[in-house]
Amino acid sequence: MRGMIAPAVTALLVATLAACGGGGGPATSQGTAKTKLVVATFGEFGYQSLYQEYEKLHPDVDIVERVTAAEDHHRRIATNLATGKGAADIEAIEEGWIGQFKAQPDRFANLLDLGADKLKSRWPDWKWQTSLSKDGKQIGLGTDVGGMAMCYRTDLFKQAGLPTDRDEVSALWPTWDGYIETGKKFAAAKLPKTAFFDGPVVMYRSILGQADVGLYDNNDTVVVETNPAVRAAYDKTIEAINAGLSAKITAWSANWNAGFQRGSFATIACPSWMMGFIQEQAKNAAGKWDIAKIPGGTGNWGGSFLTMPKQGKNQQKAFELASWLTAPEQQAKVFRNKGNFPSTSALYSDPVITDFKNPFFNNAPVGKIFSESVATMKVQYLGPKAGDINTAINNALGRVEQGKQSPGDAWSQAMVEVKKIL
């Protein structure tokens, strides 16, 4: 799941917007009304400069972005679809929620009717299938995928007496056990006001994203209690917490954002889109962050889709914008600028990606690192309530970390909550 906190300036902008998308916008230089297209996203999609570029190419279009915290964003989509009003022209949906919405295909434009069939070759088959409904309707165009790595602070590693070279750091943790052992060495250095990792949510989701099967099997059956990989991800995260390695910071909170600035944690599991958060929140630490391999070497967490609710009044123009935003050229620009790794297959061997090094991350070869991760990742099937189920487990981890429950009791409560979700 891409992050949940929208920039404050965007929040101010949101307050000025009408509740629904579409409609007339400002006039063009010729005096005709522009078509206003509202794009609703969450986290950091990196589209601001692309909107300006598109508006120059299409002077009859006025784009307004509405950014909301991820869980609030997806709840609002569900409400707008149920009431038949209020949806944006383009709604971004994260992979954890796409199953929920593709089960309601009649509430979205079937993009195959608008020309998406001609674009299918852009994406690997698994990405295309992820947003395809069971009755064969395509509700979304893929934006990014969440190839995995591990971001770390070289200055804090040096102070703790650990290697700083990314290859040497990668060698420290071929497994999550190695990661925890490295964390214990870091903790033994007793650096003031810093911990080894941020908190449980990111670690848990990263471990789970490496499993063949996650919360659902391919038949839409929830397997949380019967799939040992889910409990293993939970237990390994608990082990790291009990070792005293966590900064006890809730992911995507204000304290989390401040933690990047203050150096409150030395490592964070790093889906490609996480680079955008780090660059935005830790501007004072450019060059101090670097990127190593993730324990286990691969994995996937995240990736989103641009959808068009059927209630939108400008579906063809919305589709043209969405198809342009998800074209290979634009996906490459977003990756080089923000870090969101493309879902366009043709770019995985293109030097524009593979040769790219990010100066913020000590010139780490991020194109090569994430290309290799995506090439070997296992694609999990994501069912309708995956996002809500993960929230229940994340909350359980939080209760353990805060000392409110034992790991067993927190897990049991989470399983009760999961049954209520279903």
Amino acid (1-letter code) at residue 8: A
Domain shared by 124 and 88, yes or no? yes
* pLDDT (0 to 100) of residue 69: 87
What distance in Å separates the CA atoms of residue 129 and residue 71, rounded to the nearest whole number?
23
Share of the chain above pLDDT 90, in %: 82
Measured in whole angstroms, the distance separating CA 158 from the mean position of its chain's CA atoms is 30
Dist. CA 68–CA 42, nearest whole Å: 5
Per-residue tokens: 269: 């599991």
Reduced to 3 states (helix: H, G, I; strand: E, B; else coil), residue 358 is strand
**Cα–Cα distance, 405 to 264 (Å, whole number):** 25
Residues of the chain with pLDDT under 50: 1, 3-20
Task: Match 């123009």 to its residue by tokens.
Answer: 317
Q: Where are the alpha helices (DSSP H) in 27-102?
A: 48-57, 70-83, 95-102
Question: Do 256 and 375 sit in the same domain of this protein?
Answer: yes
So what's the pLDDT on residue 23? 56
For residue 3, tell me if it sits in a domain. no
Pair 231, 260 in one domain: yes
Residue 37 region, left (φ>0) first, then alpha (ψ -120 to 50), else beta? beta
Whether 67 is in a domain gets the answer yes
Task: Say whether both 43 and 185 belong to one domain.
Answer: no
Q: What is the value of pTM for the model shown?
A: 0.86
Return the closest-CA partner of residue 328 out of 191, 171, 144, 80.
144
Q: 318 and 174, same structural domain?
A: no
195 and 245, same structural domain?
A: yes
- Same domain (yes/no): 314, 347: yes
What pLDDT score does 99 carry?
A: 92
Tell me, yes or no, whether 360 lies in a domain: no
Structural domain contains residue 2: no
In terms of C-beta density within 10 A (0-12 exposed, 13-18 middle, 19 or more buried), how is residue 383 classed? buried
Report the 10 Å Cβ neighbour count for 190.
8
Query: Are residue 334 and residue 252 in the same domain, yes or no?
Result: no
Question: What CATH code is carried by the domain that includes residue 59?
Answer: 3.40.190.10
pLDDT, tens digit, 9 for 90 and up, residues 211-257: 999 999 988 899 999 999 999 999 999 999 999 999 999 998 999 99
Is there a domain that residue 1 lies in?
no
For residues 38 and 113, state if they share a domain: yes
> Does any domain span residue 376?
yes
Task: Tell whether 371 is covered by a domain.
Answer: yes
Same domain? 127 vs 198? no
Say whether 66 sits in a helix, a strand or coil: strand
Contact 318, 37 (CB under 8 A): yes
- ∠ CA 230-236-239, nearest 5°, is 145
Instruction: Count how many domains the chain has.
Output: 2
- pLDDT recorded at residue 369: 93
Q: Does 362 map to a domain?
A: no
Classify residue 321 by its DSSP letter: H
Tokens of 328: 């290979």
Q: Are residues 97 and 18 in the same domain?
A: yes
- What CA–CA distance (Å, rounded) separates 146 from 343? 9
- The count of other CB atoms within 10 Å of the CB of residue 365 is 17
Give φ, ψ of 34 to 5 degrees. -80, 155
Phi/psi of residue 26, nearest 5 degrees: -65, 165
Residue 122: C-alpha distances to residues 56, 119, 192 (Å): 25, 6, 48
Note whether 258 and 193 are within 8 A (CB). Answer: no
Neighbour order of strands in the sheet with 148-153: 195-197, 265-271, 148-153, 289-292
C-alpha 239/C-alpha 216 separation (Å) is: 24
Supply the range of the domain harboring residue 270: 148-299+367-421
Q: Quick one: which of 231, 170, 171, 233 has its CA closest to 201? A: 233
CA-nearest of 366, 42, 384, 411 to 225 is 411
32 and 86 co-located in one domain: yes
Evaluate the CA torsion angle 245, 249, 251, 256 in order and state its sign. negative
Which pLDDT score, from 0 to 100, does residue 29 have? 55
At 274, list the tokens.
């996480």
